[in-house]
Structure 1
Amino acid sequence: MKSPRAKWYGLIVISLAVSLIIVDSTIVNVAIPSIVDDLGISSTQVQWVQESYTLVFAALLLMFGTIADRIGRRRLLVIGVTIFGASSVLAALAWTGDLLIGFRVLQGVGGAMILPSTLSIINATFRGRDRAIAFAVWGSTIGGMAAVGPVLGGWLTTYFSWRWAFGINVPFGIVIIIGLYLWALESREKGTQRIDLVGAALSVIASGALVFGLIEGRTYGWWLADTVPDIGSWTWPFDLSPIPVVFLIALLGLIGFIAWGVHRERAGKSTMLAFGLFSIASFRNGNIAAMIVSLGEYGIILSLPLWLQNVLGYDALQTGYVILALAIGSFVASGFAGSFGNRISPVWIVRMGILAEIVGIVIVGLVISSDTRWWLIAIGLFVYGFGIGLATAQLTGVVLKDVPVEQSGQGSGTQSTSRQIGSALGIAVLGTILFSSVGTSLEARLAENPVPESVKSQIVDAVVDSAGNAIPGLEKRDATIYAAARDAFSDGTRFSAFAAAGFLAFGLLATLRLDSRRPESAEPSASSELAASAAPPAP
């Protein structure tokens, strides 16, 4: 029997595990320029270094959330941390861009094991007021680590090497595995039903195709082919972009997944997703809100590091320090959420958080210019981070509050997938807004100067294709063009921020369908206690 404090020590370890994947998903943004210089990778490879992780991560979340319920949540978490640590070593040692992309794919596999396992362990271990505090800590970790990642990556990249941005995962992984065996309880769903492999394959096809289409639409064209993809000697033979075909595959995969799952559920067999969960209003409506909110949340983290380094001229470490304001805001919010989580309806805390996010992003958008002072950006990021700290944890709690413990892996996997699909959509849409706005603005600004058309096209393509990395090099070439490029990238970053605020506003509206009544008791309901009987006793 573990001590009463063991579950809180375990929560620290679980939060550290979440930190691994959150830091890794943000750390690459500030390390990309060094990776380009060292490995000589192309702009297409740059894109895949950043996005291959997200693609695999989102595609596998649902499957591993279900597997965690079957084989043991702590066991899968240990396996995930091991894979993540091993692939981090390989990524740190990569000597070509293609190898780095491949190892990022392996990291995505490990990350997809970690995230739903941490959620389901919390859902199975904590009750009542303790659960509200645990979710607050978990959510604040996500918000805080999204900012700590650039700081850590900036420091390692500036003073050591981008390779240490991956290598740092190894010692943390060892500490996490030891801590899990010391303090985290094992739990699993009772029964010996086999895993639905067909459903797993269909879920991977559907989610993977959808995320791929959302991410690559800007590259290949949403309808007509802008860039012709090729694999070896084979080249895409149609004028139609492959993206509509990919979306069709995603749709057919989704239809097949639902039809197959309903068929197995009616036959009394195990399914990848308990479709009955969607009859729970809090789960159904909460997932919709989570997807929309995630769409707006991740766009600013994509664009700000690029703007800070390429327009304001900050190095990787200085960029991390500015974005640290987001982490500070998130950790401040954790105390608020933990203190008031059982006095105020969680839904109202979610709404307050989303509103703070909107205000923070609008502040950032209003102050962005080619000569903005860093502290103005930091103010907006602090408010934005405060909102993330409130909304993320409480929204997770709202989604899972009525989900039976024995299905917590399926529930957490579903809501995590919803968020990842939302973030992938945000990367696609807000990335398109960012770079399209930069191109349009730069063309207009260059048209005001006597720049030849051929030269203008080269400059616009260089700035957009390099995600702004070409801007610093323009200073020695022509001061006027350099100023135009900086102003244009500021315009694009500003438009992207306002678009993110708009999507968050839709997310706020989506929360209106959630039950906003204040909890009547901090104790679990009878139905929750019945569901919890399948879990091991609390420490």
Structure 2
Amino acid sequence: MTENQLPRRWAGLVFISIAVSLIIVDSTIVNVAVPSIVEELDISSTEVQWVQEAYTLVFASFLLVFGSLADRFGRRRLLLTGVVVFGAASIAAAVAPTGGLLILARLVQGVGGAMILPTTLSIINATFRGRERGIAFAVWGSTIGGMAAVGPLLGGWLTTAFSWRWAFGINIPLGVVIVIGVVLTVAESRSDRVERIDGIGALLSVLTMAPLVFGLIEGRTYGWWTVDTVPTIGAWTWPFALSPVPVAFALAVIGLAAFIAWGIARQRRGRSTLLAFDLFGITSFRNGNIAAAVVSLGEFGIILALPLWLQFVVGFDALQTGLLLLSLAIGSFVASGVAGALSGKVAPVWVVRGGLLAEVVGVAGVAVTIAPDAAWGPLVPSLFVYGLGVGLATAQLTGVVLADVPPAASGQASGTQSTSRQLGAALGVAILGTVLFSTTAGVLASALDDRGIPAAQRDQVVSQVVDSAGAAIAGLAASPDTRDLATDAREAFSDGTRAAAFTAAAFLTLGLASTLTLGAGAARREPHAASTGETV
């Protein structure tokens, strides 16, 4: 990096953070808009999950691929490409006339997002050194924590004042700002080691993630072992009594084994690999990735359930939901100041542990508060504590994971740790979504049985409530004949949301336990200052 480029790097960090905001805001803004999407496009609860998961699945599947491509072809170049792809897909999502086309647009958004996230981390890792790198990671992480909650507020306002379609349209002006800012302030960087991309490894990584997430989402629909609902695609019908879900899980296990075996074999031959397996010899990198994956299981999954419950059960509109979740954003922003005050005084691993403890307390507090007649007041402190924990844990954990990684391998390392987070997020949304809807279905069916509702009518009501992700509750409440059933549905959906929240708290507790493998001594070490193999 030349001297005249140095003053621009902090300005560049601003636009890199805005780029992260683009994909994080989009991920969370959709959560608040989902109820309006359900009503306008008449999509099912499974499609609701796929509106989320189509993006997350592709996002997680391609992070490793684009992390390696960024090292080879230029990190700024790939970042700009990702922003353009993301913006174009956002236009398609904003004008989508059906749920299927919206899901397709979300798939393309996932490709763009997968180009953006690892390159922002890689640019930071290659540009900043020592304490400055820690500050840069803190800004990056606080942006994620803050935007995860600002997104619902923005989405609530846009959805209420205009339309859910503007929740996607807002990405266009943001994308223009990012492109102009990055071109003006961010220097290009790449690795000098020009090697062929591991195409087979890339394919195997996708073939591992896709069936895994598919199985987790579709298990409650098609059956976890035998077929409950026969899958059909056009004129083709699934011909077996065995559900496609265990087949998908088996394919994911085979894909993972093949990916690992292929990568290790290529590495032994001295050839490039999609994932630098030798990096897992670095203790902070290996254990940090495990912790990041487990933590993300709990952090992001609960965001799917809360807006649905708040709007369809409690009766909030989209703007009120966003305003309530603003307390989470405030907690995240407060955390950035706390993290700055603790810098150099407390080992990052202890900040991570403190943040995760706050997350557990916050999510558990939300779970205890959930009820059909819940008020907003008791929810605010729990969400604030949760946001405080997210802000503390996210940035510091990223710094711990990448602290000892040589800059020459920053692209692969960034892609790996981003993949760990997104894998956890994808599994979290799938698992907690399944907990939410399965619990709701079971509790509601039991309540209707207690009322003596005939089986056919019971199954119809359960299907209406679950398949609409709760939107059908208002219709039940509007009719005097089904008002009591609406009461049962609200109770059941609250039980499902509570179960999802406690499941998230359990995952976060497991993530906290996994940080015990991150030594404080290792976390205190300064990041590598070498720049071998870097051209900036």
**Following TM superposition, by how much is the alpha carbon of 1:229 offset from its aligned partner in structure 2, in angstroms?**
1.6
How does 1:163-174 map onto structure 2 within 5 Å? 163-174=165-176
The question of whether the paired residues in 2 share the 8 Å contact of 1:158 and 1:316 is answered with yes
Q: Which residue of 2 aligns with 1:156?
A: 158
**Structure 1 pair 322–193 and aligned structure 2 pair: CA distance change class (3 A):** same
Q: Secondary structure at the match of 2:451?
A: coil
Q: Which residue of 2 aligns with 1:244?
A: 246
Give the Cα–Cα distance (whole angstroms) in 1 for the partners of residues 464 and 272 of structure 2.
52
Q: Which residue of 2 aligns with 1:49?
A: 51
The number of equivalent residue pairs is 532
The question of whether the paired residues in 2 share the 8 Å contact of 1:342 and 1:519 is answered with no
**Following TM superposition, by how much is the alpha carbon of 1:114 offset from its aligned partner in structure 2, in angstroms?**
0.5
**Following TM superposition, by how much is the alpha carbon of 1:61 offset from its aligned partner in structure 2, in angstroms?**
0.8
Q: Which residue of 1 aligns with 2:505?
A: 501
Q: Give the partner amino acid of 2:178.
A: I
Q: Which residue of 1 aligns with 2:312?
A: 310
**Structure 1 pair 486–2 and aligned structure 2 pair: CA distance change class (3 A):** farther
Is 2:389 the partner of 1:378? no
**Structure 1 pair 498–223 and aligned structure 2 pair: CA distance change class (3 A):** same
The question of whether the paired residues in 2 share the 8 Å contact of 1:345 and 1:519 is answered with yes
1:326 aligned to 307, 324, 328, which one? 328
**Following TM superposition, by how much is the alpha carbon of 1:401 offset from its aligned partner in structure 2, in angstroms?**
0.8
Q: Secondary structure at the match of 2:472?
A: coil
Q: Secondary structure at the match of 2:520?
A: coil
How does 1:137-536 map onto structure 2 within 5 Å? 137-477=139-479, 478-517=482-521, 524=527, 528-530=528-530, 532-536=531-535
The question of whether the paired residues in 1 share the 8 Å contact of 2:53 and 2:429 is answered with no
Deviates more, 1:489-498 or 1:73-82: 489-498
**Following TM superposition, by how much is the alpha carbon of 1:459 offset from its aligned partner in structure 2, in angstroms?**
1.6
Give the Cα–Cα distance (whole angstroms) in 1 for the partners of residues 524 and 143 of structure 2.
28
Deviates more, 1:46-55 or 1:326-335: 46-55
Instruction: Describe the superposition over 1:390-433 as per-residue Cα deviations: whole angstroms up to 9, x where unpaired.
Output: 11111111111111111111111111111111112212222222
Q: Secondary structure at the match of 2:196?
A: coil
Q: Which residue of 2 aligns with 1:116?
A: 118
Give the Cα–Cα distance (whole angstroms) in 2 for the partners of residues 490 and 520 of structure 1.
43
1:10 aligned to 9, 12, 19, which one? 12
**Following TM superposition, by how much is the alpha carbon of 1:265 offset from its aligned partner in structure 2, in angstroms?**
1.5
Q: Give the partner amino acid of 1:114.
A: I
TM-score, length of structure 2 as denominator length: 0.95
The question of whether the paired residues in 2 share the 8 Å contact of 1:68 and 1:76 is answered with yes
The question of whether the paired residues in 2 share the 8 Å contact of 1:438 and 1:489 is answered with yes
Deviates more, 1:223-232 or 1:317-326: 223-232
Give the Cα–Cα distance (whole angstroms) in 1 for the partners of residues 251 and 148 of structure 2.
32
The question of whether the paired residues in 1 share the 8 Å contact of 2:313 and 2:493 is answered with yes
**Structure 1 pair 444–255 and aligned structure 2 pair: CA distance change class (3 A):** closer
TM-score, length of structure 1 as denominator length: 0.95
Percent same amino acid among aligned pairs? Answer: 63
The question of whether the paired residues in 2 share the 8 Å contact of 1:215 and 1:425 is answered with no
Q: Secondary structure at the match of 2:491?
A: helix
**Following TM superposition, by how much is the alpha carbon of 1:520 offset from its aligned partner in structure 2, in angstroms?**
5.6
How does 1:42-81 map onto structure 2 within 5 Å? 42-81=44-83
**Following TM superposition, by how much is the alpha carbon of 1:453 offset from its aligned partner in structure 2, in angstroms?**
3.3
Q: Which residue of 2 aligns with 1:126?
A: 128
The question of whether the paired residues in 2 share the 8 Å contact of 1:471 and 1:485 is answered with yes
The question of whether the paired residues in 1 share the 8 Å contact of 2:301 and 2:428 is answered with yes
Give the Cα–Cα distance (whole angstroms) in 2 for the partners of residues 217 and 401 of structure 1.
39
4+ runs deviating over 4 angstroms: 518-521
Q: Give the partner amino acid of 2:429.
A: I
Instruction: Describe the superposition over 1:471-495 as per-residue Cα deviations: whole angstroms up to 9, x where unpaired.
Output: 1112122332222221221111112
Which consecutive unaligned segments of at least 5 residues does structure 2 have? Answer: none
**Following TM superposition, by how much is the alpha carbon of 1:212 offset from its aligned partner in structure 2, in angstroms?**
2.4
Give the Cα–Cα distance (whole angstroms) in 2 for the partners of residues 225 and 22 of structure 1.
36
Give the Cα–Cα distance (whole angstroms) in 2 for the partners of residues 2 and 217 of structure 1.
56
Give the Cα–Cα distance (whole angstroms) in 2 for the partners of residues 203 and 451 of structure 1.
48
Instruction: Describe the superposition over 1:242-281 as per-residue Cα deviations: whole angstroms up to 9, x where unpaired.
Output: 1221122222222222222222222222111111011111
**Structure 1 pair 438–406 and aligned structure 2 pair: CA distance change class (3 A):** same
Q: Secondary structure at the match of 1:298?
A: helix
Q: Secondary structure at the match of 1:413?
A: helix
Q: Secondary structure at the match of 2:190?
A: coil
Give the Cα–Cα distance (whole angstroms) in 1 for the partners of residues 156 and 336 of structure 2.
25
The question of whether the paired residues in 2 share the 8 Å contact of 1:343 and 1:518 is answered with no
**Structure 1 pair 502–272 and aligned structure 2 pair: CA distance change class (3 A):** same
Give the Cα–Cα distance (whole angstroms) in 2 for the partners of residues 27 and 126 of structure 1.
31
Q: Secondary structure at the match of 2:47?
A: helix
**Following TM superposition, by how much is the alpha carbon of 1:208 offset from its aligned partner in structure 2, in angstroms?**
2.3
Q: Give the partner amino acid of 1:277.
A: L
The question of whether the paired residues in 2 share the 8 Å contact of 1:357 and 1:386 is answered with yes
The question of whether the paired residues in 2 share the 8 Å contact of 1:326 and 1:386 is answered with yes
**Following TM superposition, by how much is the alpha carbon of 1:160 offset from its aligned partner in structure 2, in angstroms?**
1.0
Give the Cα–Cα distance (whole angstroms) in 2 for the partners of residues 42 and 459 of structure 1.
14
The question of whether the paired residues in 2 share the 8 Å contact of 1:31 and 1:162 is answered with yes
**Following TM superposition, by how much is the alpha carbon of 1:123 offset from its aligned partner in structure 2, in angstroms?**
0.8
**Following TM superposition, by how much is the alpha carbon of 1:161 offset from its aligned partner in structure 2, in angstroms?**
1.4
